[in-house]
Structure 1
Amino acid sequence: MTSVLPPFVQAASGSLGSASANTLTYPLDLITTRIQATEKGTSIRKQIHTHGLSSFYDGIGADAGATLISSFLYYYIYSFLREYVVRGNGKSRAAMLSLPQELAIGYLSGIASRSITTPLNLVTVRLQTARVNDDSSAQGGTSRFTAICQQIFEEEGLRGFWKGFSSTFLLSLNPAVTLYLFQQYRRVMLKGKERASPPPAHSFVGGALANSIAVIILYPLLLAKTVVQASRRTRSTNNTSQASIQSSLQAIYTTGGFFALYRGLGAQLFKGVLRQGTAMMVKQRIEQLVVQAYLRQRALRRVQYKG
C-alpha cells in the first residue's frame, strides 16, 4: 500500500518530513559522522567546552539543503515512476507491486536524487569533520561553506564534488528497501482505513524498523563512503592517489577486523530510528491534512451548489 496522492504532494510532504527529522537529529548525525571518519569516539563534554553547543550544528545548512532537495526528488520520481508502472499494469494507484518492481523504482529514484545532491553531502561531511581534523580553513572566515567548496575544487577539481559517488549505486538500495519494508509493515500490521492512512505511532515505528534493517544490510558501504568523503589530499606530499570505496573497506578491515566495518553502527541506528521514524510520521501527517483539506473544500462546494 502506498499513497494515492499526486507526485508533487508526496514529494513536498516527504521533503518536509525529512527536513524536520534532520533538524531534530542533526547533532547525533554529526557525532556519528565523526566516529565513522576518525576511527575514534567524540568527547561531547570536551567539544562543548572547546567549541560550544553551536559546534554540534556544523554544516547543518548544507545538510538541510541536501535533505530537502534529495527527499523531494526521490519521492517525486518514485511516485511518478510507480504511477506509470501501475497504470501500465492496469491497476489502481494503491495496488501493491512485486518486490523487484518496488525495489527497481526505489533504486532508480535514489540514484537520480543522489547524483544531484552528492556535492552538498560531501561539503556537509567536510564541515562536520573540520574541527576533528583541525582544518582551519573550514573553521574561520566569513563563509565556511565557500571555503570548503574552494578547498575541494583546489584538491580535485569539479570531479572532486562527486567523491564517493560510486557507492551510490549500492547505497541507493537503502531508501528503496526502507520504503518497501515500510509498505510491508503497513500491509501486515494495519487494516482498513489505518492501512491507507497510518496513525502517527505506526508511521514512526514502521519507518524506524524499516530503516534499521536497511542500514544494517548496507552499513559497511555507508561507513566507507563517509571515510572517502572526509579524506583530504595533503599538499605536503606528492601523493596523488585517491581513496576509493574498495580500498577504504580493505583498510578498515585490515586495521580492525570484521567488527571495525560496523564501528558507529549503534549511533547510526539510533539516529536512523529517530530520523526515519519522524520523517515518515510527519510525511503521513501532512498527507492526511491535505486529504482532509480537500474533503472539506469538496463538501463546501456541494453545499454552495445546493444553495
Structure 2
Amino acid sequence: MSNALVNGLAGAGGGIIAQIITYPLQTVNTRQQTERIAKKASPAAVTSGGGAPPSGSEKDAAPPTTSHSAGGTVYQMLQLIRTEGWGGLYSGLKPSLVGTAASQGIYYYFYQVLKNKAEAVAAARKKRGLGDGTVGMFSWLVVAAIAGSLNVLLTNPIWVLVTRMQTHTQAERKIMEARKEAILRESPGIANVEHDLVKLDLMKPRPYGTFHAVREVYHEAGVRGFWKGLIPTLIMVCNPSIQFMIYETSLKHLRSKRSRTKPGEKNVTALEVFFLGALAKLGATVATYPLLVVKSRLQAKQEIGNNVMLRYTGTLDAIVKMIRYEGLHGFYKGMGTKIVQSVFAASVLFMVKEELVKAFVFIADGSKKINSKSGK
C-alpha cells in the first residue's frame, strides 16, 4: 500500500472521529454565520437619494433586526436542544460524515502524492548543490493549495447539502415569521395568527432529509446550485495551506530540535501533534474566517429572512450587501465558536491521523515479516 493511500485512509478516519466529536459546535456556528442582523441604521440611511423617502419595495426590502442570535454559544446550544431536541445538534450529520471522509481522504491522498514529489525535487536539488534537501515554506503552500483545490472541486456539493440541513429549521422559522407578519398587515385585528397558520398547515415543520435538500437545491438553481460558494471556498484553500505551512514548519523545527538534544530521536508524541495541529488551525482560522461566513451565506437557503436585499446572487454581491447592511462585524459572526470547534477538530484529526498512519505501517511491517518467514 502506497504512503499516499495510507495517509488518505488515515485522514478520512481522523476526520470522521473529529467531526463526530465537534459536530454540535459546527451546527451552532453555521447558524451564527447565516443569521442576518442589520447594523443600526443611521439617519442618512432612513432616506434614499436626495432625501426622498424610500419606495414601497425598498421599505419591504429593508433588512430587519433580529434577536435570535442573542446569547453565547452554550446558550444557543441549549436553546436548540429545547426547541428541536438533541437531534437538532446533529442535523445533516450523515452527509457531513460522508463529506468529511471524502474530503480528508482526497485531501491527504493528493497532499501526500504532491509532498513526495516536492521532497524528491528538493533531494535532487541538493545533489546538484542547490539547497539543503528540505522542502521550503513556499513549496508547502503550493502543495497544500493544489490538494485543497482538488478536494473543493470534488466535494463542494456535499457541503452545500450539509449547510442546508444545518440551517433548515432556522430558515423555516424566518419564513413562518414572515407569513405571520404578512397576515397581521393584511388583517390587523386577527386574534390568533399562529393558530390559524397551523390550521392552514403553514406553521408545521416539514420533514427534511438529504433527498429533500438535493431536490430543493436542484429546484432553485439546477446542477450549478451544488457548487454554490465555490469561489470563496476555492479562495479558502489558503486556510489549509496556511494551516499545513504552520504545521509542517513547526513539526520540522520540533524534530530538528529533538535530534540535536537526543541524537537519532526524531519522533514526536501524540500530544505534541495535538498542540501543533491546534496552533496551525488557530492561525489559519483567524486569517480566513470572513470567507467562511460568505461561503455559508451562499450555501444556505436564500429565502432565509424572506428579504430580497439579503438574498445573494454571488460572492461579490454577498460581500457588498453584508458590508452595507451589517457592517464589518457581520464577517466575524460566531468566530469564537468556530475557533473552539475547528482548532479542537484539527487537533484531534492530526493526532488520530498520525496514530492511524503508525498503525498501518506497523501492520504492513508485520505482514511483510510473516510473508518473508513463510517464503523461507
TM-score range, shorter chain: 0.7 to 0.9
Per-residue CA deviation, residues 123-168 of structure 1 (Å, 9 max, x unaligned), is 1001000111117999644x61111111111111111110110112
Distance (whole Å) between structure 2 residues aligned to residue 226 and residue 263 of structure 1 = 11
What one-letter code is carried by the residue in structure 1 that aligns with 2:171?
A: N
Deviation at 1:200, TM superposition (A): 1.0
Alignment partner of 1:255 out of 305, 308, 325: 325
- 1:257-272 residue pairs with structure 2 within 5 A? 257-272=327-342
1:205 maps onto 2:243 in alignment: no
Alignment partner of 2:360 out of 275, 282, 290: 290
2:19 paired residue number: 22
1:219 paired residue number: 289
Deviation at 1:238, TM superposition (A): 9.4
Deviation at 1:20, TM superposition (A): 0.7
Select between 7-16 and 284-293 the one with higher mean Cα deviation. 284-293
Deviation at 1:258, TM superposition (A): 2.8
Say how many residue pairs are matched: 298
Deviation at 1:84, TM superposition (A): 2.4
2:343 paired residue number: 273
1:100 paired residue number: 138
Q: Report percent identity of matched pairs.
A: 22
Tell me the secondary structure at the aligned position of residue 172 of structure 2: coil
Distance (whole Å) between structure 2 residues aligned to residue 139 and residue 209 of structure 1 = 41
Per-residue CA deviation, residues 152-207 of structure 1 (Å, 9 max, x unaligned), is 11111111110110112311111122112111111223424764x43110111111
Alignment partner of 2:112 out of 57, 79, 87: 79
Q: Are the structure 2 counterparts of residues 233 and 54 from structure 1 closer, same or farther at C-alpha, using a change threshold of 3 Å?
A: closer
Contact 1:138–1:144 (CA under 8 A) maintained in structure 2: no
- 1:4-19 residue pairs with structure 2 within 5 A? 6-19=3-16
Tell me the secondary structure at the aligned position of residue 198 of structure 1: coil
Unaligned 5+ runs, structure 1:
none
Distance (whole Å) between structure 2 residues aligned to residue 260 and residue 124 of structure 1 = 22
Q: Are the structure 2 counterparts of residues 301 and 32 from structure 1 closer, same or farther at C-alpha, using a change threshold of 3 Å?
A: same
1:55 paired residue number: 88
1:150 paired residue number: 215
Q: Are the structure 2 counterparts of residues 304 and 138 from structure 1 closer, same or farther at C-alpha, using a change threshold of 3 Å?
A: farther
Contact 2:30–2:163 (CA under 8 A) maintained in structure 1: yes
Q: Are the structure 2 counterparts of residues 82 and 263 from structure 1 closer, same or farther at C-alpha, using a change threshold of 3 Å?
A: same
What one-letter code is carried by the residue in structure 2 that aligns with 1:199?
A: T
Q: Are the structure 2 counterparts of residues 187 and 145 from structure 1 closer, same or farther at C-alpha, using a change threshold of 3 Å?
A: same
- 1:104-115 residue pairs with structure 2 within 5 A? 104-115=142-153
Larger Rg: 2
RMSD over aligned CA atoms reads 2.9
Per-residue CA deviation, residues 202-225 of structure 1 (Å, 9 max, x unaligned), is 111111110110111111111111
2:103 paired residue number: 70
Distance (whole Å) between structure 2 residues aligned to residue 177 and residue 72 of structure 1 = 19
2:245 paired residue number: 180
2:159 paired residue number: 121
1:165 paired residue number: 230
Deviation at 1:82, TM superposition (A): 2.1
Deviation at 1:237, TM superposition (A): 9.5
Tell me the secondary structure at the aligned position of residue 243 of structure 1: coil
Contact 2:106–2:151 (CA under 8 A) maintained in structure 1: yes
Give the TM-score normalised by the residue count of structure 1.
0.87
Q: Are the structure 2 counterparts of residues 138 and 184 from structure 1 closer, same or farther at C-alpha, using a change threshold of 3 Å?
A: farther
2:55 paired residue number: none
Q: Are the structure 2 counterparts of residues 56 and 89 from structure 1 closer, same or farther at C-alpha, using a change threshold of 3 Å?
A: same
Contact 1:138–1:145 (CA under 8 A) maintained in structure 2: no
Deviation at 1:77, TM superposition (A): 1.0
Per-residue CA deviation, residues 228-247 of structure 1 (Å, 9 max, x unaligned), is 1114258x9999x7432222
